[in-house]
Chains A and B, each alone.
Chain A
């Protein structure tokens, strides 16, 4: 079998689903009360890697930087992608890292994955809490891999060792563009949220079922696949990680001042049926009276 080594970098993030997310009365996130899970974009990246497993028999390693509880995100990712290896990079000196310092840890971690040299690394489009979308491309650059962002579909040419990917490009004031590119491996792909894998052949569907079953079994005893690295075990220079390795700092956090009212609202009491009827008449006037199909 032709070998293909893939890695995924993922993140433990606040769970924004109703019932799990908790907001303060001022509309800001209550982090203490909100549970953490595998981030939704990380889950999409895991699905994209699983596609490689089903289609090309790829080996999958998953890595994350975070506190010890981030192993939960690794387990959830393994459940999706049937990972062969899980890496947790965890050290107090990593805390407070900005994207550049995080990328330094992830780059070093990927270098320690068992498959040796990677062919493709996947990451999510952006974290749903930090939302910078910078960590993926910065890790790619440090690894020296070709970076492809917003990928909605991909296939590998195993003989040519290239990836053919479709990318979604959305630009202000222009129609969206789907760009098809071919790039040599190794490549680093951030997966667009709209990515959906398609398994078209019978053998793919059989492989899908087989690996999904295996993923279930593996995730139940995920610790067998887990390796935890601190800074020393990773061999990173403390100057380049955590707060010392972060060019940026958060200087202040403030409530966004309430903007001046842009309009003067007329308040309508919903329980007054006559008022609502007037609203509807108004709607007709606004829309030119002949809106309704």
Chain B
């Protein structure tokens, strides 16, 4: 008999790896249907304009065109997250260049694109505004004249181009600053970053029986897509079914998309399947970006390095629609204090509408912006105090049991260990060869914090007739490895090989509810649901076995490989198959377990902090880490090159250590692009100037350091039954400040704006 290996912590190969390696895995654009039509989008050529008329006659006359939809045809239902301000096609006005104004379904993609170009829209061009500060100034062109009438889930203080504003404060920052020995202040600017998932967004919608519509989308939650499409089409959710094929990356960029509803509308209108797989350019022009941010930050300390006060003013550029802006802003506010015991803090956050692509959720969710400002400034403070930057961090670091700003308790916190680990790992590593002439080398550090949690999720577990297991959750694997992790958890609790657990693809008709793949929550939240459902199945198996073996349930134990025996009595056992057959045909009914939960941890404590208009009040458990970067600055070219990185993470228990490492390494490199090369740029007319991979520079293999060393600290998280926390986003947040700190430590300039392009570095180097 083969020895049973507990799959928990064992890093088995991804369930779907062989399909992906052999080319048989199916992504959205690999799907086709008989009689399928292809959709194309007509886009606004103006950043801000009133739609006067729309003539589709020429387009409709083109042979092969089957249906056209414009803003005039759709129910004028505004949808969105906290602020319902967006329609699936522009109605009355366009608010960014490239915004979808109409869509065509035709027999082939080329005809659809040609027809979209023949749609004649007459515009009255309006003045536009691209900068968030200008948008909030008196006399700025207003994007949403009807903002006061929009439905919102709570009052956010928005008016004019102000989407939302909030305040978070503890202690008395102003008074505390007056008593500080050292104060540092700066403005930190971060760009619009594009998610850059390798697979662009796409959707295939088709009519189903009984008047329903099936929406197959490359997405991060079938339940979210179902809800959004129903909302936009003005039909009950029972009329919409959503499914997901394999997803080629998401990073927060594959939540709601207008194209889901557009194709659902066209499929219903034509009675035929309609597909739209976005081109890279279209994806960049109409989906979403990371929020550009301008953060004014001030930090004060005593001469011994005790940090006393911090004040932040965060201004986010939300683009033309609110999307998740209030939530991103709130999270940036919660993260900008940083993982330090600072008693006096005041944080003000604002988001403005501008005539650009909407900004929304993206791995880190406001935290990369906040961490760039906060972690850069810690080093500036250390320099002014004459202290070692790691010592300054360690002196002020939060510890297990401390409260975060707002009052959440830190259930586990290995921040100090992570800081020491990356410092020691770098010190112990073989020295790199000396820098070439004209290059300066520096070492930079950053502390990392994020959360893992949020919202509702569920899982169901069924036993099949042969004793194998069916596991069902709503958690979509967008590449991070959750299919394998969920399967590992279930298999481990039942002590069966992972091959005996079938993990179902997500389908809104069948999958238990899950909010989204977001918030570093899959392992932490859906993992808990899987444990709950699997434990119910285990109990039922034991109940049956006790009756079958005529013994007390308490005397029974699960044995590896799908068997139950009497503890301490070798040999006497029943198999899962016998248990399953008994349940199906004789007694008790099919064995199944179901467990659902919502994140219901601590709320903010209103007696502790001033909190006005924060978009949520509980989050999840806090996660910590630290990063160390060795980088070189070329004084002639201005190029910054990262040579080596060390990244330590407090992951709770690692269910799949190899996948944890993959998340950490991938997040670091996404952060490297954010730090050095990635920026969406708009020209003065509001045209996105670089919507292609040729002009928007993602890191390639030659841009990444030869060594990226992940270090995992496995301290079981007490609120998770198998001790796990999420690691999906935290890896991304510290790379940019760590590199900026390395550049400054090398004797280079203090760079407060990313990406740190050679031009910007050279400008900063000039005397």
Specify whether A and B are partners: no
